[in-house]
Amino acid sequence: MNLKSISAVFFTASTFLIAAPALAAGDPTVKLNQRQAAEVYKTVQPLLTTGGAICPTEQVVRGGIVTGGSSPSGGSQTTTIMFKSGEKVVINRTWDSSVGKKLTMSARIDCS
C-alpha cells in the first residue's frame, strides 16, 4: 500500500468515525435491518478494497448489530454486518478524549 492509499484510508476512516453516532453507556444492542446494514457496508467497502482486505464481495447483506457505549472521557462501538452467505464484517471503533484533552480515534475492520 502506498502513501496515497494510506492517506485515503485514513481520511475515509476518520470521516466514518466522526459521522457515526456513539451509543450511550448501557444502551441495549441495536439491530440493523438489511437496508441500514447495507448502508454501513457501503460506507466502509472502499476501505476494505484500498487496504487489500479479503472481504465478502458480491454478497447480499442480511442485517447487522451495533453494541457499545461511551462516557465523557471515551468509549467504543462495535458494528457487525452479516451476509446471507454466513460471512461478516466487524468494525471496532474506539475514541478517547482523556489523553491531553485531545480526541483520539481508531478503527479496525475485520472480515471473516
Residues 49-88: tens digit of each pLDDT: 776 666 777 789 999 999 987 777 788 889 999 999 889 9
Segment (H or E) for 74: strand 74-83
Residues 12-48: tens digit of each pLDDT: 444 454 444 444 455 688 999 999 999 999 988 888 7
Contact call for residues 96 and 104 (beta carbons, < 8 A): yes
AA identity, residue 44: V
